[in-house]
Structure 1
Amino acid sequence: MPLPALAFYILATVTVVSGLAVVSARNPVHSVLFLILAFFSAAGLFVLLGAEFLAMLLVVVYVGAVAVLFLFVVMMLDVDFASLRQGFAQYLPLALVIGVVLLGEMIFVSVAVADRGAAAGKVPLAAAADMTNAEAIGRVLYTDYVYFFQAAGIVLLIAMVGAIVLTLRHKPNVRRQKVAVQVGRRRKDAVAVVSVPTGEGISE
């Protein structure tokens, strides 16, 4: 077996097993650690596909920021996870139904696009020899998928504003910044020049 094929099977197996461990681990800290392992394995798969830029983004953004943030939040919060797991069995039938629906949707999409791309044995379009991986992704992202990119940005902006609105609490006895007063402040209102004779101080 060639080395790239062996590396693919190893990384793919580790990714799938880690993904299953994320949702099946009882300890939330262990789930985050398995998530980091899944991200690293997926980054290795991107490297095998020749997408080094995506692999770097996956490691830097998701492993270096998102997963570590999840780990810190889980470790800092004093949450009783035993009480959260109570009543899990009563939601299991609904979860199975939703899982079957999602599986059916994925199968339907796979069959619908079976006559396109690599699934039909067609060779995908390769980037030019003088074009870097990041440039090729940027050209496709900001030309063919520019509207989807902008829509994703709007969705993230709305989510950020919604999170701020939901968590913002106005306290009555807290002094708040008044930008208009600060900008309109004049020098004579803030600075006083006093002539003090030599050897004497200022008496209050």
Structure 2
Amino acid sequence: MIIQALAFYLFAAITVASAFMVIASRNPVHSVLFLILAFFNAAGLFVLMGAEFLAMILVIVYVGAVAVLFLFVVMMLDINFVELRQGFLQYLPVGALVAIILLTELVLLFGAWVVTPVAPQVVQRPIPPVEEVTNTHALGLILYTDYFYLFQTAGIILLVAMIGAIVLTLRQREGVRRQSIPEQVARRPKDSLEIKDVPTGSGI
């Protein structure tokens, strides 16, 4: 029990410190590396809570895909952050206003926090043994039964966001050859191939 408590405080402290260094680091590459460290330690916290599936998803999806993608984008774009910081004071009032609004919403949210009356009944429900229902099985049952519509709604929102990002970044530039799928499908061999009858002995 003491080892679990020490591991929890260790993972929690490193996670909080890494999250702070993500926003405090001057180098964006270092910020992404601290973000990866925070994800790893958050996965360790999930393992301590018995949610090994969420820990695996956090490492595979966020560390293996999202954070590494951030790292490659930051390194490939070669952004001049000195120029970006020059207009910081110009947008400071707007940023402060948004921060005050978000802080007010959080205060109102946690101030109106109440425990649902059915919470004791839910807690007292019999929990099946781990040998019968695994962590992944239990999570799948909850997602695809009680929260099925919310799960599908989240997928639709992500799909719309992905399509919007593609539409916003799609640019028509002159002089660039683009792929035309209908032309490739409708293309026939006689349009691209030509049979030459070379007489015997007249070749190279």
> Normalising to structure 1: TM-score of the pair?
0.81
The percentage of counterpart residues that share the same residue type is: 55
Q: 1:182 to 1:105 in 2, by over 3 A?
A: same
Shift of 1:183: 2.3
Aligned with residue 178 of structure 1, among 177, 180, 202: 180
1:73 aligns with 2:73: yes
Cα drift, residue 66 of structure 1: 0.8
Aligned to 2:35: 35
State the partner residue of 1:94.
97
Q: Which amino acid aligns with 1:148?
A: L
Question: Contact 1:36–1:67 at 8 Å: present in 2 too?
Answer: yes
1:147 match: 149
The unaligned stretches of length 5 or more in structure 2 are: none
Q: Matches of residues 21-170 of structure 1 in structure 2 within 5 Å?
A: 21-85=21-85, 86-87=88-89, 90-91=93-94, 93-94=96-97, 96-108=99-111, 111-113=113-115, 122=123, 126-128=127-129, 129-170=131-172
DSSP-derived class of the 1:143 partner: helix
Aligned pair count reads 200
**What amino acid is aligned across from residue 50 of structure 1 in structure 2?**
G
Paired with 1:188 and 1:181, the residues of 2 have a C-alpha distance of 14
Whichever residue aligns with residue 8 of structure 2, its letter is F
Equivalent position amino acid for 1:152 in 2: A
Q: Tell me if structure 2 keeps the 8 A contact 1:117–1:124.
A: no
What does the per-residue CA deviation read over 1:29-83, in whole Å, with 9 as the maximum and x for residues that have no partner? 2221221111111101110111111101101110111111112222222323234
1:29–1:71 CA contact under 8 A, matched in 2? yes
1:107-132 CA distances to partner (integer Å, 9 max, x unpaired)? 236x32376659x9946764542222
- Cα displacement (A) at 1:139: 1.5
Greater relative CO (CA pairs within 8 A, separation 6+): 2
Q: Which moved more, 1:95-104 or 1:160-169?
A: 95-104
Evaluate the alpha carbon distance shift between residue 29 and residue 116 of structure 1 in structure 2; reply closer, same or farther with a 3 A threshold.
Answer: farther
Residues 103, 17 of structure 1: alpha-carbon distance in 2 compared, 3 angstrom cutoff = farther
SS in 1 for 2:146: coil
The whole-number CA distance in structure 2 between the counterparts of 1:8 and 1:197 is 83
- 159 and 63 in structure 1: CA distance in 2 versus 1, 3 angstrom threshold: same
RMSD: 2.9
d(CA) in 2 for partners of 1:182, 1:99: 51
User: Structure 1 residues 177, 144: CA separation in 2 closer, same or farther (over 3 Å shift)?
Assistant: same
